[in-house]
Amino acid sequence: MTNYFDLSGKIALVTGGSRGLGRAIALAFADCGADVIVASRKLDNCEAVAEEIRAKGRRALALSCHMGRWEQIETLVTSAYAAFGRIDILVNNAGMTPVTSSSLDTDEKLVDAVFALNFKGPFRLSALVGSRMAAGEGGSIINISSIASCRPDPSYAPYASAKAALNTLTTAHAFEFAPKVRVNAILPGSFRTDIARHWSPNKEANTPAALKRFGEPEEIVSTALYLASDYSSFTTGAHIRVDGGRP
């Protein structure tokens, strides 16, 4: 039987890879044969996931990086290429979702922080890695956006706006780095990650999703594996919803 998700010999970099959807994606990539660079702000958490990856027989590297700070992104890329020589798969997953009472009460510092992490960081990291992919053997860039980008709510307007910008960037980079590099976005709905523990207890019961529940982190991995694998070779510039059927 053909293994459509075979990532043997591939090198993947997953930001925000120490928990939640990023951790699930990083571990799934390792299960399918990839060596993985796990990046997030807290090095200890990255190293814990890296150990899980090594236990699967794959190589792993843990790197600390604040994805909202370009100077740290430069260091991340330098360290990743020094260790592995190339990156075949980039997953821009790091992000933050602050809730605000109103736009009027939202201060500039918060808006800047939200856009730095959810948009400016992926912009810079994709520019650095995507240009190298395009000059080399190609690759796949996967941006983890959000259903909020097309179903915005006033309580998280800066986040929804930043993710909408990330969707636009996905399309722009799909053309800029083509034909060797494919750039796609996944738009998750609500998932049972560690962040969900801070949500209202009745939020899931009142979800408008057709499936009437939240997703498990593992339920996003097949979409990420598809976009990372060579079997999605004719898919670029796509925005794929994985949201349980949000109206």
Please tell me which residue in 4, 81, 156, 159 is annotated as part of the active site. Answer: 159
Residue pair 96/113 in contact (Cβ under 8 Å)? The answer is: yes
Q: Which residues contact 53 (CB under 8 A, 6 or more apart)?
A: 26, 27, 30, 35, 36, 38, 59, 60
Residue 151 has φ and ψ, to the nearest 5°, of -130, 65
Torsion of CA 222, 226, 231, 236, to 10 degrees: 160
Phi, psi of 148 (to 5 degrees): -60, -25
Task: Tell me: cis bond preceding 179? Omega within 30 of 0 counts.
Answer: yes
- How far apart CA 84 and CA 126 sit, in angstroms, is 17
Supply the DSSP symbol for 214: P
Is there a catalytic annotation at residue 159? yes
d(CA 106, CA 44): 32
Active site residue ranges: 159
